[in-house]
Chain A
């Protein structure tokens, strides 16, 4: 009896807490469809009629079309680069023995500890000198560099669990290193690599600090940067702000709902092996 009561309390707590987790999201999306008048009158009710006016206005005011385009270019290029370089490096680190291997592992491991803030001033200066500021590369390159350690470790852990016999068979069939990599290791590592890809995608799509410091040109602004103008400039136009944020969140929600199984598995596997 006592046990059942305890169980009931825990389930109740879970339910209440998950409501708290989801409510801000519900509020965000429903408010986006309201007029400001309705939002002020009844901020937490369901919209009486759905108006798309906020979305079209937010799209124009914050130039979200351009921002969406910039975010897409930067995110996809950096994700592709991360997955490719990460896979190559992980293949070598998991399958070959050579003198500098232990050093390289530690080197990349330490990379995870470097605080982004410590690199802001020097990176800005360096990019200024070589003319990278206000280009897509100003984001793509540092994003990739900072994400590579995690990508490498997730992939090394996965590749180490692939049986060596498969590669040996491929070598007997006349494959060189590249053949083994592209025909055996890459296809077999797809589960780990897709986890890396999804995590990098989410991180790059949402990144703010580097974008804030390295991008000044308004035609190159990414979504989080375009949205940040709503944090002060338009803060009284609530419905407009909510609509702009909804537009920015939708691509990641869609991606999350499609790949959530993969994300969950990747996180759990990463945590157990890491």
Chain B
């Protein structure tokens, strides 16, 4: 290179510093200032901040709604991971193995909800769950199962499970694509060899497909977990607002309510710290359980 070391470092700095600063200010710094605010009693609006030590954390432990919000969040995480991964895997294998010419059409259809705002998805599904004219109750009636029809989102026991269906509907396309990418990368010769050895399709799936697309499965599961812990708030806010009777509050919606509706900023920040710790722990634990020797045949 003709250019001097100084020029190189000047160029590096020019490229990296804006990104670094922006990233540090808007994602990293808030984590630390959030921790700081969690030690104060503060309404957000006034200048007056009172240092209260660990009082917010003590209220957090005593708050009866908090354990519910955590359970609700992990209920959504678990049902979404299971629902999306099974369906996406089934369709990914079907679309790559069946070699049907409509495959691109199916991909386009399955990915469609991914381009819509969760707000639109939420309102649309509120209508679908509408007790009188929504698709679900109409469909049950059509099948002669009127007795199962209920005001889904207004029912304390059914409101939370009702949020799972729209989330799976909205999420499946992305993971279908990721898994199809993984399967397309598996060499055909493995399947041919398995065929010669007399392996059934089922065995081929467990012995060839699953181990070889494990990296994509792992990324997909982690991604679903992170985006659910990060995004369940929107669907809750739009579809139920946390109700009925707090039956659908998740950590994010409870934080929003505490900080931006009731102006308990200090307590809101405390919930934020809890969310950070729980998500990082979850990711770490998942990483540990999903680690596998890289398979190469």
Contacts and interface: CB of A to CB of B under 8 A. Distances in A.
Interface stretch (B11-19, B57-65, B154-162): B11-19
Contacts of B3: 176-177
A188 interface: no
A21 B112 contact: yes
B23 A208 contact: no
Contacts of B259: 120-121, 124
Given A255-B115, A264-B107, A268-B184, A104 B20 contact: yes
B238 A228 contact: yes
A14 interface: yes
Contact of A148 (B19, B106, B109): B19
A102 interface: no
A44 B19 contact: no
Contacts of A50: none
A14 B181 CA distance: 19
Nearest to A226: B119
Contacts of A40: 133
Contact of B174 (A223, A228, A267): A267
Nearest to B172: A21
A125 B33 contact: yes
A88 B15 contact: yes
B109 A228 contact: no
A272 to B, nearest CB: 5
Nearest to A178: B11
Interface stretch (B78-86, B144-152, B273-281): B273-281
B125 A264 contact: no
A273 B19 CA distance: 23
Interface in A192-207: 202, 205-207
B123 A227 contact: yes
A10 B272 CA distance: 44
B127 A238 contact: yes
Contacts of A242: 127
Q: How large is the interface on A (under 10, 10 to 19, 20 to 34, 35 or more residues)?
A: 35 or more
Contact of B7 (A10, A23, A177, A228): A177
Nearest to A273: B181
Is chain B's interface secondary structure helix, strand, loop, or mixed overall?
Answer: helix
A118 B174 contact: no
Nearest to B174: A267
Nearest to A111: B27
A117 interface: yes
A24 B272 contact: no
Q: Is the interface of A mostly helix, strand, loop or mixed?
A: helix
* Interface-central residue, B15, B178, B256, by most chain A CB under 10 Å: B15
Interface stretch (A56-64, A90-98, A156-164): A90-98
Given A88-B19, A238-B127, A117 B251 contact: yes
Interface of B: 1-3, 7-9, 11-12, 14-16, 18-20, 22-23, 25-31, 33-34, 37, 44, 87, 90-91, 94-95, 98, 100, 105-120, 122-128, 133-135, 138, 169, 172-174, 177-182, 184-185, 201, 216, 219, 226, 229-231, 233-234, 237-239, 241, 251-252, 255-256, 259-260, 265, 268-269, 271-273, 275-276, 279-280, 283
Interface of A: 6-7, 10-11, 13-14, 17-18, 20-25, 27-28, 39-40, 43-44, 85-86, 88-89, 91-92, 96, 98, 104, 107-108, 111-126, 141-142, 144-146, 148-149, 152, 171, 176-178, 202, 205-209, 212-213, 223-224, 227-228, 230-232, 235, 238, 241-242, 245, 248-249, 252-253, 255-256, 260, 263-264, 267-272, 274
18 contacts: A11-B100, A21-B169, A44-B138, A85-B18, A88-B16, A111-B23, A112-B226, A117-B252, A117-B271, A119-B31, A144-B22, A208-B118, A209-B231, A224-B120, A253-B115, A268-B177, A268-B181, A272-B181
Closest 5 CB pairs between A and B? Answer: A268-B181, A206-B117, A145-B26, A271-B178, A122-B30
